Amino acid sequence: MSGREWGVLFVLCGAIFLEGIDISMLGVALPSIRADLDMSTAGLSWVVSAYVLGYGGFMLLGGRAADLWGRRRVFLVCLGVFILFSGLGGLATEGWVLIAARFVTGVAAAFMTPAGLSIITTTFAEGPRRNKALLVYAGAAAGGFSLGMFVGGLLAAVSWRWVFFAPVILAVAILLAGIRLIPRATAPERHGEGAPGTARRGGFDLAGATTVTGAMLLLVFTVVRAPDVAPAWTVTTLAASAALLAAFVVIERRSAAPLVRLGILRSGPLVRANIGAMTLTGSFFGFQFVTVLYLQELRGWSTVQTGLALMVIGIDSVLAPTLTPRLVERWGNARVIFGGFLLAALAYALFLPLGADWAYPLMLPTLLLTGLGFALAYGPLTIAATDGVDEAEQGLAGGLLNTSFQFGAALGLALVTAVNVAATGAGGTAADRLDGYRAALLVPVVAALVGAAVVAIGLRRRARPATPARVEAPEPAAIHG
């Protein structure tokens, strides 16, 4: 890579690190926020849910906007919005202000993240250089998720407001570097594809954007609120989401300039990569949620102690850009992803016999294997979801992938919460809580095994011998290795 390319990659890795650390720092600061702003449990959950709602609901629109209006422009403008509303969250004195700020921050991330990913995939040609860049990028994201829990614990010990102010300082530095280093035109834009003029020449699919955004908002809302509302309400909002999604499909089939080219979903490797992304984040965030509850509510550990305990998962930030590229080069994406899911399933299963007074060395194998499994699966899934996709649709592919990551996280948290509440019952004793945690931990185990099974389909198809009558060309995406 040239020095300029390393500079671009540094800026984009900083942005995805910022997103990861912003999400994970908030998790350990929630008890302090509730105490200071006098928020109910339901209101506190919306501090997290509002971000997820904005992120998941607008991701597809954000990905396509990057292709149509210019990736650099979308990335930098939305990074500025992220800075503004993250700072507003830190200044909030009322719960509703913090919730609103988190929603807008999530929307900004929904536009910024696929734009950043598509800048990488259009700056680096498909092959080893792009794979290396994406694995470094994935390592930065993983590092943000993991280190954020530790840093968040330290900052929350001073004041929860620093959980919002610290990302602002980092984001300002990234914005200044991005203005200087990110080129004004990526490769497809120089050829007229994805440039700002494209949107004006082909028209913007407003009806498609409205229906898909509404469908995603309702779907994420349904998943997030399912544990707290009546089943009839869940069914109603789910049906409304399905109706909007059906309308979106009809609109896209008839549109001369569709927001999402439906043919992209015919790629088996891309679909499997996105399903894998959902199960990976669903299992990871579900496990993290249960572990934080166990350490803080049952064991009485402080936010700093919890952050230090979970920091070992941050091994993924070291392994993702160092070990994973070598394994991918030797064994291919599919086998590495499959191994990552198996390690994750093993890690979560080892935590199932959770005891009320477990010593930290008993938790350590699970935490180490969780970091290793995440390092092996996260980056290669990113490669698999973007390989073989036309450069003019890299923003769309990035939007699909990040929607899957975010929706998977929301679904995993919702399922874990529902199982935990049902298993705990009305009892509030330590034994009741422990039973709830153990039952909830089954969700990450099952999700990881489902992810492994989906990846195994690609491995089996790759291994299937071609018949003399019909020789199929291998699919381009790296999910087949």
What is the distance between the alpha carbons of residues 287 and 420, in angstroms, rounded to a whole number? 12
What is the distance between the alpha carbons of residues 290 and 306, in angstroms, rounded to a whole number? 12
pLDDT at residue 56 in the model = 75
pLDDT at residue 203 in the model = 54
Considering the four listed CATH numbers 1.10.510.10, 3.40.50.720, 1.20.1250.20, 1.50.10.10, the one that applies to the domain covering 3-204+259-461 is 1.20.1250.20
**With contact defined as beta carbons under 8 Å apart, do 419 and 89 qualify?**
no
The Cα-based distances of 290 to 97, 99, 286 in angstroms read 28, 23, 6
Tell me the pLDDT tens digit for each residue of 357-371. 899 999 999 999 999
Residue 475's identity, in one-letter code, is: E
**With contact defined as beta carbons under 8 Å apart, do 175 and 86 qualify?**
no
Collect all residues with Cβ–Cβ distance below 8 Å to 15 and sequence separation of at least 6. Answer: 75, 79, 112, 113, 116, 171, 174, 178
pLDDT at residue 185 in the model = 61
pLDDT at residue 474 in the model = 40
What is the distance between the alpha carbons of residues 132 and 395, in angstroms, rounded to a whole number? 19
The model's pTM is 0.77
**With contact defined as beta carbons under 8 Å apart, do 435 and 100 qualify?**
no
What is the distance between the alpha carbons of residues 441 and 145, in angstroms, rounded to a whole number? 20
Query: Token match 């709602």: residue?
Result: 53
pLDDT at residue 199 in the model = 40
The Cα-based distances of 185 to 125, 266, 390, 429 in angstroms read 15, 30, 17, 60
Query: Token match 């004006």: residue?
Result: 200
Q: Cα(first)–Cα(last) distance of the chain, in Å?
A: 24
Tell me the pLDDT tens digit for each residue of 182-213. 887 644 444 444 434 334 444 567 788 788 88
State which residues of the chain have pLDDT below 50.
186-202, 466-481
Phi, psi of 427 (to 5 degrees): -75, 150
Length of the chain: 481
Would you list the domain boundaries of the chain?
A: 3-204+259-461, 205-258
pLDDT at residue 272 in the model = 92
Residue 343's identity, in one-letter code, is: L
**With contact defined as beta carbons under 8 Å apart, do 344 and 369 qualify?**
yes
What is the distance between the alpha carbons of residues 84 and 282, in angstroms, rounded to a whole number? 29
Query: Token match 């609901």: residue?
Result: 57
395 burial (CB, 10 Å; 0-12 / 13-18 / 19+) is: buried
pLDDT at residue 41 in the model = 60
Give the 3-state secondary structure of residue 300.
coil
Collect all residues with Cβ–Cβ distance below 8 Å to 453 and sequence separation of at least 6. Answer: none
Give the ranges where 203-302 is alpha helix by DSSP (H).
Answer: 206-225, 231-254, 268-293
Collect all residues with Cβ–Cβ distance below 8 Å to 272 and sequence separation of at least 6. Answer: 384, 454, 455, 457, 458, 479
- What does the block give as tokens for 438? 């153990």
Query: Token match 């381009």: residue?
Result: 476
Apex CA 25: angle with CA 417 and CA 435, to 5°? 25
pLDDT at residue 341 in the model = 96
- What does the block give as tokens for 455? 């990846």
Give the CA dihedral 394, 396, 399, 403, nearest 10 degrees: -130
Give the 3-state secondary structure of residue 308.
helix
Report the chain's C-alpha Rg in angstroms. Answer: 21
